[in-house]
Amino acid sequence: MTPEEVMALYEKYINPSATRLFRFMGLASVEAQAEGWTITDTEGTEFIDCLGGYGMFALGHKNPKVVEAVERELHAMPMCGKVLFNEPAARLAEKLAAITPGELQYNFFCNSGAEAVEGCLKIARLATGRKKIVAARNAFHGKTLGALTATGRDLYRDPFKPLLEGFSHVPFGDSAALEKAVDEATAAVILEPIQGEGGIIVPPAGYLKQAEEIAHRKGALLIADEVQTGIGRTGTWFGANHDGATPDLMAVAKALGGGVMPVGSVVGTPQAWAGLIEAPFLHTSTFGGGQMACAAGLATLQVIEEENLLQRSAETGAYFKKGLEAIAEEFPQVITEVRGRGMMLGLYLVKEGAGGMLMALMINRHIIVAYTLNNPRVIRIEPPLIMPASVVDHVLEELRASVREVAAVINDL
Ligand code: PLP
């Protein structure tokens, strides 16, 4: 099929307005192949992937060890029969218990970030017998009804009201506000260690640890939504590691599948899991915990260890950030701030219109970046953790040229 034919089908059978928007932004290509940090379209044009599938491609595209692990299961038994035990699920659960902080031990496998968040919310209510959930303004936890209720952006929430009862939102990074909002009826506080879709917002140091302390003092649980920050994105296994926080429940997804399979998990402490241990069928999933998915997860964690990707994420991220800061210094009329940690970086722009234009200019230069869902003023940069410094240099050079073009018209945007 030609790209035009594919887009015509998208327009007719998927969504006409989304198709037109993507075309307008210069995204009129059909992806055909991908490897490492490169996506190649059907016309043979190569794009450098600095978006990383919203944080899914920590290992880049088509990591051979993950592909091999998945292929092995594909030819043995790809999906679980749901009655007998399966080894990849057992081994991935053991590995996640080993790398997650504190007492996190038990796993419930699912297929997406939103599903992992749903699991956390239900398990927290079950464990505490309480209903209230405190989340942060501007948070993004996914778009299924429970996760959406925790999400802190009205644009996505309002059309679907009434949402779930008992949720409230406090300013992110403000522990005094948390102290006021959490009470004896609170089941859990749910936070991202760094707000991703909210605009790559790093909270003050110690915030997550303070949230843990406040929650525990009032008999509530701390849920860390590590769907985007987890699995090496910020230079450590999990975003919570930076604060030394030990959540009671953790939502993991995106990068866990190594960019090859959709895999998510709710990881919880024995205390948080007590209700599910008593009644294990209160929360189930047909696809969750399949052999291919779990083998992908296990291979991903092994590759991260073998290739020292946590350190690479921290080092390359720091290098990238320095380069971005130099561009921001050169063009203060376009970029207000560079923020983030590890390979989870954001450019905070002076106005919304600059985000769309910068994204389009970068795509014209065959580099994929995008703005964050809750904040179109922030261009997020979340490349594969394996990206070498030479490619980072090239991206920075093209970014500088694009920002220069934005600067020339910034007053008209
Ligand atoms: N939680 C966080 C922090 C996310 O960034 C996202 C997606 O961007 C989700 C949850 C939802 O994940 P999914 O799109 O896999 O449902």
192 touches ligand 1 (CB under 6 Å):
yes
3-state DSSP assignment of residue 169: strand
Q: How does residue 352 score in pLDDT terms, banded at 50, 70 and 90?
A: confident
Distance 142 CA to ligand 1 centre (A): 5
* Global confidence as pTM: 0.97
Cα separation, 268 vs 249, in Å, equals 4
- pLDDT over 90 (residue 374): no
pLDDT at 413 over 90: no
- For ligand 1, say whether the CB of 108 is within 6 Å of any of its atoms: no
Residue 139 CA, closest ligand 1 atom number: 3
250/104 Cα distance (integer angstroms): 8
Mean pLDDT of 372-400: 95
Contact of 157 with 103, CB cutoff 8 Å: no
Per-residue pLDDT reduced to its tens digit, 193-238: 999 999 999 999 999 999 999 999 999 999 999 999 999 999 999 9
Cα(141)–Cα(144) distance, rounded to whole angstroms? 9
Q: What percent of the chain has pLDDT over 90?
A: 94
CB 185 within 8 A of CB 129: no
Helix, strand, coil percentages (3-state) for the chain, rounded to 5, are 45, 20, 35
Q: Is the pLDDT of residue 25 over 90?
A: no
For residue 262, the ligand 1 atom closest to its alpha carbon is 15
The answer, yes or no, to whether any atom of ligand 1 lies below 6 A from the CB of 382, is no
Give the residue from 125, 212, 159 showing the smallest Cα distance to 148. Answer: 159
| pLDDT at site 327 | 98
Nearest atom, ligand 1, residue 112 CA: 15
**24 has a pLDDT exceeding 90:** no
Ligand 1 neighbour 354 (Cβ under 6 A): no
**Nearest atom within ligand 1 for CA of residue 117:** 10
Is the CB of residue 112 below 6 angstroms from any atom belonging to ligand 1? yes
Rounded mean pLDDT of the chain?
A: 96
Residue 4 scores a pLDDT above 90? yes
- Residue 258: CB within 6 Å of ligand 1? no
What are 35-75's pLDDT values in tens digits? 999 999 999 999 999 998 999 999 999 999 999 999 999 99
Under the banding of pLDDT at 50, 70 and 90, the label for residue 23 is confident
The pLDDT assigned to 165 comes to 97
If one compares 371 and 49, the residue with the highest pLDDT of the two is 49
Residues 39, 47: contact at Cβ < 8 Å?
Answer: yes
Q: Rounded distance, CA 139 to CA 121, Å? A: 15
Query: pLDDT tier at 297 (50, 70, 90 boundaries)?
Result: very high
Reported as a single tens digit per residue, the pLDDT across 142-159 is: 999 999 999 999 999 999
> Residue 373's pLDDT is what?
82
Query: Over 90: is that where the pLDDT of 375 sits?
Result: no
Three-class HEC string of 343-393: CEEEEEECCHHHHHHHHHHHHHCCEECEEECCEEEEEEECCCCCCCHHHHH
215 lines ligand 1 (CB under 6 A): no
What's residue 376's pLDDT? Answer: 87
